[in-house]
């Protein structure tokens, strides 16, 4: 019965996808232009920054990051996590593929001299090397990016992260980990035949990719053991914004260091 319920929402998902724009930059800019506001009761699906989630993020960063290094928040979106990290680390640089997202993040960070944002695609060849040339080795924070990339893009991102982290930096990543495929994940977000949360529908209308599974197996493929040392992995929750406020969904996290 559960499988049938998931299958019945598929036509609506396909309907959204057929009408969505094409092109990665255009897709993300389309999404961010449609956003009114963020936060736990806002329009951004993954922006459910609860006190619990905030404490978890800072605890992991303080535990693993070298405080002498800058922090790069990859796929920073409208800057929520970068703003949080900038309370304890400096400098913090947020990067995102969407110029619309970066513009919103800059507005939120006005007056924060050691927090900056720029447009960059972490899957582009040379992106990590370019950032490293400017910043030197850095700690890297990623929240909810790799689960929407295909395997080729994940490998490209990992190569850039190796260049960016250098010999001293650490990568902290956390990704949704709802096993069971895309339709199961949508069900966890409250999608039903008779109910489609607006924060989810907004993603589909814009053409954003539906997340894939990301766990130990996917980590090993993207970050092979001959290039990366896994310091720790585990499970946690990510707070996402659906009807009625934040909802916790299962997540996987890992802390890695480049092998030298």
Q: Reduced to 3 states, what is the DSSP secondary structure of residue 12? A: helix
What DSSP assignment string belongs to 81-142? HHHHHTTTSSSEEEEES-HHHHHHHHHHTTT-TTEEEEE--TTSTTHHHHHHHHH-S-EEEE
Provide the CB-side half-sphere exposure for 134 (13 A, CA): 11
* pLDDT of amino acid 24: 58
Q: What is the reported pLDDT for 18?
A: 44
| Residue 176 contacts residue 211 (beta carbons within 8 Å) | yes
The C-alpha atoms of residue 136 and residue 132 are separated, in whole angstroms, by 5
With beta carbons less than 8 A apart as the criterion, state whether 167 and 258 touch: yes
Could you give the CA distance from residue 248 to residue 256 in angstroms, rounded to a whole number? 24
The pLDDT score that the predictor gives to residue 40 is 67
Give the pLDDT confidence score for residue 197 in this predicted structure.
76
* Domain spans of the chain, in order of start: 47-191+209-258
DSSP 8-state symbol, 35: -
Burial per residue of 38-55, b for 16 or more beta-carbon CB atoms within 10 angstroms, e otherwise: bebebbbbbbbbeeebee
Backbone dihedral region for residue 77 (phi beyond 0: left; psi -120 to 50: alpha; all else: beta): left
> Residues near 103 by Cβ (< 8 Å), separated by ≥ 6?
none
Per the CB < 8 A criterion, the answer to whether 38 and 66 are in contact is no
Q: Which fold has domain 47-191+209-258?
A: Rossmann fold (3.40.50)
**Which parts of the chain have pLDDT scores under 70?**
1-25, 40-41, 48-49, 178-185, 189-195, 243-246
Give φ, ψ of 191 to 5 degrees: -75, 125
Confidence at residue 165, expressed as pLDDT on a 0 to 100 scale: 98
At 175, phi and psi to the nearest 5? -135, 145
pLDDT computed for residue 244 by the predictor: 61
Q: What's the 3-state SS for 179-216? A: CCCHHHHHHHCCCECCECCHHHHHHHHHCCCCCCCCCH
């Amino acid at each position: 019965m559960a499988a049938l319920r998931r299958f019945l929402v598929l036509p609506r998902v396909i309907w959204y996808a057929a009408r969505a724009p094409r092109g990665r930059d255009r897709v993300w800019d389309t999404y961010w232009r449609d956003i009114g506001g963020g936060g736990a009761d806002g329009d951004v699906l993954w922006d459910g920054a609860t006190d619990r989630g905030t404490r978890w993020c800072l605890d992991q960063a303080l535990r693993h990051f070298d405080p002498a290094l800058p922090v790069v928040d990859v796929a920073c979106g409208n800057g929520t996590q970068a703003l949080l990290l900038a309370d304890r680390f400096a400098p913090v640089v947020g990067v995102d593929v969407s110029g619309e997202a970066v513009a919103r993040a800059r507005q939120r960070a006005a007056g924060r001299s050691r927090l900056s944002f720029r447009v960059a695609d972490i899957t582009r060849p040379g992106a990590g090397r370019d950032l490293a040339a400017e910043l030197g080795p850095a700690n890297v924070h990623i929240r909810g990016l790799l689960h929407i990339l295909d395997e080729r893009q994940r490998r490209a991102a990992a190569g850039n992260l190796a260049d960016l982290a250098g010999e001293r930096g650490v990568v902290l990543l956390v990704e949704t980990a709802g096993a069971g495929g895309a339709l199961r994940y949508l069900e966890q977000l409250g999608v039903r035949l008779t109910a489609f949360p607006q924060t989810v529908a907004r993603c589909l209308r814009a053409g954003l990719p539906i997340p894939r599974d990301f766990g130990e197996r996917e980590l090993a493929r993207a970050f092979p053991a001959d290039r990366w040392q896994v310091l720790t992995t585990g499970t946690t929750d990510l707070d996402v914004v659906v009807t009625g406020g934040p909802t916790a969904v299962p997540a996987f996290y890992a802390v890695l260091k480049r092998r030298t």
